[in-house]
Amino acid sequence: MMMLLSPEQPVAHESAVVNTIFDRGLSLFHIRKYQLTDVEMAAYVDAIDPDYRKQVVLHSHFHLANELGIERLHVREEDRKQNRQEAFMTGFTLSTSVHTIAIFNTLTAIWDYAFLSPVFSSISKKGYGMTHTVLDELHLRCNPHVQLVGLGGIDEQNYTQVFTAGADAIALLGAVWNSPQPVQVFDTINKDIHTKIHHDTK
């Protein structure tokens, strides 16, 4: 399974790219647009094909979720530590973020999945992951209740390492949005994943 995070800052033809990637098989799209007003967030979501609304995940503006028809919310690590998810535990599918496998292993089954990052040095956030990455920690996973999604620095060259290390899914960010051909980047990885799955199930 493959997910995509939005860029925090606007990118040319952003909504068109998201819709095209959804058409090509994207599983989930995470909206990280903390700076938007309520009106701007509603407009951003409305630009995404309604057929994919149930595959959209909000990182903020949770109070708009019902109005926008969104069923998935992502709780940031700092908010999870303050139990802010308790107000949204009914009616929503929840995900969160962690930065060590030790914390991942403590997560309860209220979380559908968690981002574990950075598995590699970040593409979009310069300097993040330069001194420490978590790829080598994945073999210490012992939490059977929560899916593990690798995030951080994942691209066409290294994504297979994340699955091999034990991740259930990957999330893309800089590899897509920093590329002049974002759809092609997604297609390359997605087709390769499906080819491997098909081969492995023969």
pLDDT at res. 45: 98
Give, for all 202 residues of the chain, the pLDDT tens digit: 999 999 988 999 999 999 999 999 999 999 999 999 999 999 999 999 999 999 999 999 999 999 999 999 999 999 999 998 988 888 999 999 999 999 999 999 999 999 999 999 887 666 565 568 999 999 999 999 999 999 999 999 999 999 999 999 999 999 999 999 999 999 999 998 877 643 453 4
pLDDT at res. 198: 39
Q: pLDDT tens, 48-90?
A: 999 999 999 999 999 999 999 999 999 999 999 999 898 888 8
Domain positions in the chain are 2-200
pLDDT at res. 173: 97
Residues 6+ apart with CB under 8 A from 183: 17, 20, 21, 24
Burial string for 52-69 (b: 16+ CB within 10 Å, else e) reads beebbbbbbbbeebeebe
The architecture CATH gives domain 2-200:
Alpha-Beta Barrel (3.20)
Q: How far apart are CA 63 and CA 52, in angstroms?
A: 20
pLDDT at res. 96: 98
Task: Please tell me the total number of residues recorded for the chain in this structure.
Answer: 202
